[in-house]
Chains A and B, each alone.
Chain A
Amino acid sequence: MTQPKTLFEKVWDAHVVKEVAGGAQVLYIDAHLIHEVTSPVAFNGLRRRGIPVFRPEQTVATADHNIPTLHQDKPIRDALSAQQLAALRKNCEAAGIELYDIGHVHNGIVHVIGPELGITQPGMTLVCGDSHTATHGAFGSIAFGIGTSEVEMVLATQCLFQTQPKTMRISVEGDLHPGVTAKDLILYIISRLSASGATGYFVEYAGTTLENLSMEERMTVCNMSIEMGARGGMMAPDQTTFDYLQGRAFSPKGPDWDRAVAYWKVLSSDPGAQFDEEYRFKAEDITPVITFGTNPGMGMPIDAEIPSPKSVKDAAASFQKALRYMGFCEGEKLLGKPIDYVFLGSCTNGRIADFRRFATLVKGHRKAEGVSAWLVPGSKAVERQICEEGIDSVLKAAGFALRQPGCSACLGMNEDKIPAGKYAVSTSNRNFEGRQGPGARTLLASPLVAAAAAITGKITDPRDFI
């Protein structure tokens, strides 16, 4: 009788090339996604060593982090951004790496296009020089973010030195209430575990609530695993996963498809598999969530009062510093507070399902005066689908305009920066100080909370509209 294994252990063990003395392992990487920001220094390193990219066919590149979201057909005005994109082009061409450049039909945020094109598949190891690589774990893959030195390692050898993380299972059971989304679910979990509660762990999400989510919703959940410190997060693949992947550009075809599905079906944690840590939550306890502080663990029910540091896990002097930055006080309610910006987009909530939800709520209403709304599709494919489904007309009628795909205001590397002191209800993943622009104040929330804020101009419970 073999020892029961977790999903994580099954995938991990299948990718260990070699054990190294001292507790490190050489892990093989099936797919490597690269972008313009964290790859140029890695390519410089290869050139200095005089070595080629080992497996260019297992590497895919996109331009997403620094690109403008308006006038993408025009030359890029920011000289440094243009230079970084030129370096990506040159590096990909020299190495024979497929690049979905700005304007390409497959262009988009790296964690949106990977799944969309079927590059992400169950049971694989996938890395990218970006911490939100955890997104791809929604397919039952081991996916995690790496630094530039590691990007260079993977380019050079398709392998990484890794120490095996501990395992954690987070189970959620039951049905989510109306108006409560996958984003609320993950913000709730992070608020319970804190911004560091899963550091050193790889998380498996399980339970009926998760099983009933669409692939896009599962991606939203796995995406934010890093926000509680986890190396990554994953879910066992099931029929929802297979249905999503069938027929996509990089998905296996014909007999290869059947063989792949047969393998993917064994990728779940065995009964009796042991996790180093387990948490259980109930879907019925979850409401729409909003963050009030400067890390994603500082979230609360949208209709609650800002807690006092004493009642918050992980509290410290940092808690007061965060409230000062946000201009909030403990005990204060956020409902009804005026906001300045709304950002719909990012690798967390920039998929078609997110635009559908946002449009459903704003339909028949008008964008509030004085609110700037940036609606940024996660990819060219999302942009096309928005138009095909007529969502663009609904948004236009409500006074909203679409921008072009990119990471945009999530990290404010391009021109899309929230001005200092302004409040932004943002569907992205980080509310760190200055994340969306120097001095910007970010309130993380779901696309529904963002939509309700966009039409009322203040923090509003989306359940008032449904």
Chain B
Amino acid sequence: MAIDEFATLTTTAVPLPIDHVDTDQIVPARFLKATERKGFADHLFRDWRYAESGRPKADFVLNNPNYRGKILLAGRNFGCGSSREHAAWALYDYGFRVVVSSFFADIFQNNALNIGLLPITLAESLVCEITNRTLENPKTAYHVDLPAQTFAVVGIPLVAHFEINAYKKACLRNGFDDIDYLLDMQADILQYEKKTRWMRT
């Protein structure tokens, strides 16, 4: 059950410079009743995006036709709160492939990596600078190079390095997920269970 492979991406970005965006904002709990991973793009930022009547709220960035792109430029502590993977699904299904923040909540970061959504952590000052560039000129394009671990502003000499766990990088590049690897380790797992059985009686 592979995830989509990720190598490089050149795209514009959508700015959302708000700190502590929790997963209840990304997908409110009332939309978690699905038994299939379907339809979550419609629920992305539901209550920020739509009025109760269902009418789009003009002041929310996803409803602003000027801002398009596969990168979300987020504030600090993005994805905090509930562990719902639905938040990562919604971002991905909406079309985002990268989220940039100065730091991510742990569970969100794992969830994102597990489904092929690349969380890129950059210095706060840099996230601010990039966000301002996009706010001023929505056509500003960025180039993400996963093999090289770089995030660049197209057309100017601004290239930043980002960190990613080498194992997760390999998964994303090759479109593998953790279960593919874990299933290959069954002998190790059985041996571990045998050795530690006393701990589980």
Taking Cβ atoms with an 8 Å cutoff, the residues of A that contact B are 14-15, 17-18, 20-24, 26, 28, 30, 37-38, 40-41, 44-45, 48-49, 51, 58, 65-66, 78, 80-81, 83-84, 87, 123-124, 129-131, 144-150, 152-153, 156-161, 163, 165, 195-196, 199-200, 226, 229, 231, 252, 256, 259-260, 263, 295, 314, 316-318, 321, 411-413, 417, 420, 430, 432-435, 438
- Min C-beta distance of A263 to chain B, whole Å: 7
Q: Which 3 A-B pairs have the closest CB atoms?
A: A22-B166, A147-B85, A22-B167
- Min C-beta distance of B174 to chain A, whole Å: 13
B32 CB within 8 Å of chain A: yes
Given the interface pairs A24-B168, A131-B107, the reply to whether A49 lies near B182 with Cβ below 8 Å is no
Q: Is the CB of B76 within 8 A of A196?
A: yes
Q: Is the CB of B83 within 8 A of A28?
A: no
Which of chain B's residues have a CB closer than 8 A to the CB of A160?
178
Q: Given A80-B33, A156-B179, 6 other A-B contacts at CB below 8 A?
A: A149-B178, A150-B111, A157-B185, A165-B106, A434-B25, A438-B28
Q: Is the CB of B114 within 8 A of A433?
A: no
Q: Is the CB of B35 within 8 A of A41?
A: yes
Given the interface pairs A195-B20, A314-B19, A413-B30, the reply to whether A21 lies near B167 with Cβ below 8 Å is yes
- Min C-beta distance of A407 to chain B, whole Å: 9
Which of chain A's residues have a CB closer than 8 A to the CB of B115?
149
- Min C-beta distance of B112 to chain A, whole Å: 9
Which of chain A's residues have a CB closer than 8 A to the CB of B106?
165, 199-200, 229, 231
The 0/1 profile, CB within 8 Å of A marked 1, for residues 177-188 of chain B is 111011101101
Complex CA–CA separation, A22 to B182 (angstroms): 15
Complex CA–CA separation, A200 to B103 (angstroms): 10
Complex CA–CA separation, A308 to B47 (angstroms): 27
B7 CB within 8 Å of chain A: no
Complex CA–CA separation, A318 to B111 (angstroms): 25
Taking Cβ atoms with an 8 Å cutoff, the residues of B that contact A are 1, 17-20, 22, 24-25, 28-30, 32-37, 47, 52, 75-77, 80-86, 88, 103, 105-107, 110-111, 114-115, 165-170, 177-179, 181-183, 185-186, 188-189, 192-193, 196, 198-201
Q: Which of B29, B35, B77 contacts A83 (CB 8 A)?
A: B35
Q: Is the CB of A412 within 8 A of B29?
A: yes
Which of chain A's residues have a CB closer than 8 A to the CB of B189?
17, 26, 28, 157-159
Complex CA–CA separation, A159 to B192 (angstroms): 11
Given the interface pairs A317-B18, A413-B29, the reply to whether A145 lies near B24 with Cβ below 8 Å is no
Complex CA–CA separation, A163 to B110 (angstroms): 10
Complex CA–CA separation, A30 to B197 (angstroms): 10
- Min C-beta distance of B67 to chain A, whole Å: 18
- Min C-beta distance of B89 to chain A, whole Å: 8
26 contacts between A and B (CB under 8 A): A18-B185, A21-B167, A28-B193, A38-B85, A41-B37, A44-B36, A66-B32, A78-B33, A147-B84, A147-B114, A150-B114, A157-B183, A157-B186, A157-B189, A159-B189, A161-B178, A165-B106, A317-B18, A318-B19, A318-B75, A411-B29, A433-B24, A433-B25, A435-B24, A435-B29, A438-B47
Which of chain A's residues have a CB closer than 8 A to the CB of B182?
26, 153, 156-157, 159, 161
Complex CA–CA separation, A146 to B85 (angstroms): 8
Q: Is the CB of A195 within 8 A of B83?
A: no
- Min C-beta distance of A362 to chain B, whole Å: 29
Complex CA–CA separation, A417 to B29 (angstroms): 11
Which of chain B's residues have a CB closer than 8 A to the CB of A26?
182, 185, 188-189
- Min C-beta distance of A339 to chain B, whole Å: 21
Complex CA–CA separation, A64 to B172 (angstroms): 34
Closest residue on chain A to residue B106 by CB atoms: A231
Given the interface pairs A149-B178, A199-B103, A295-B22, the reply to whether A48 lies near B1 with Cβ below 8 Å is yes
Q: Is the CB of B33 within 8 A of A66?
A: yes
Q: Is the CB of B52 within 8 A of A148?
A: no
Closest residue on chain A to residue B21 by CB atoms: A318
Which of chain A's residues have a CB closer than 8 A to the CB of B169?
22
Q: Is the CB of B111 within 8 A of A147?
A: yes
Complex CA–CA separation, A24 to B181 (angstroms): 12
Q: Is the CB of B35 within 8 A of A84?
A: yes
Which of chain A's residues have a CB closer than 8 A to the CB of B33?
37, 66, 78, 80-81, 83-84, 413
Which of chain B's residues have a CB closer than 8 A to the CB of A153?
178-179, 182
Closest residue on chain B to residue A152 by CB atoms: B179
Which of chain B's residues have a CB closer than 8 A to the CB of A196?
20, 76-77, 80, 103, 105
Given the interface pairs A21-B167, A123-B199, A432-B81, the reply to whether A49 lies near B1 with Cβ below 8 Å is yes
- Min C-beta distance of B158 to chain A, whole Å: 24
Q: Which of B28, B37, B52, B167 contacts A23 (CB 8 A)?
A: B167
Closest residue on chain B to residue A22 by CB atoms: B166
- Min C-beta distance of B101 to chain A, whole Å: 11
- Most B Cβ at <10 Å: residue of A65, A84, A148: A148
Which of chain A's residues have a CB closer than 8 A to the CB of B29?
411-413, 435
Complex CA–CA separation, A311 to B169 (angstroms): 40
Q: Is the CB of B30 within 8 A of A30?
A: no
Q: Is the CB of A263 within 8 A of B47?
A: no
- Min C-beta distance of B179 to chain A, whole Å: 5
- Min C-beta distance of A137 to chain B, whole Å: 15
Q: Is the CB of A430 within 8 A of B81?
A: yes
Q: Is the CB of B188 within 8 A of A229?
A: no
Which of chain B's residues have a CB closer than 8 A to the CB of A87?
35
Which of chain A's residues have a CB closer than 8 A to the CB of B36?
40-41, 44
Given the interface pairs A147-B84, A411-B82, the reply to whether A14 lies near B199 with Cβ below 8 Å is yes
Closest residue on chain A to residue B19 by CB atoms: A318
Q: Is the CB of A40 within 8 A of B76?
A: no
Which of chain B's residues have a CB closer than 8 A to the CB of A195?
20, 77, 80
Which of chain A's residues have a CB closer than 8 A to the CB of B52?
420, 438
Complex CA–CA separation, A305 to B148 (angstroms): 50
Complex CA–CA separation, A308 to B35 (angstroms): 44
- Min C-beta distance of B73 to chain A, whole Å: 15
Closest residue on chain B to residue A412 by CB atoms: B29
Complex CA–CA separation, A160 to B77 (angstroms): 24
Q: Which of B35, B47, B199 contacts A433 (CB 8 A)?
A: B47
Q: Is the CB of A156 within 8 A of B183?
A: yes
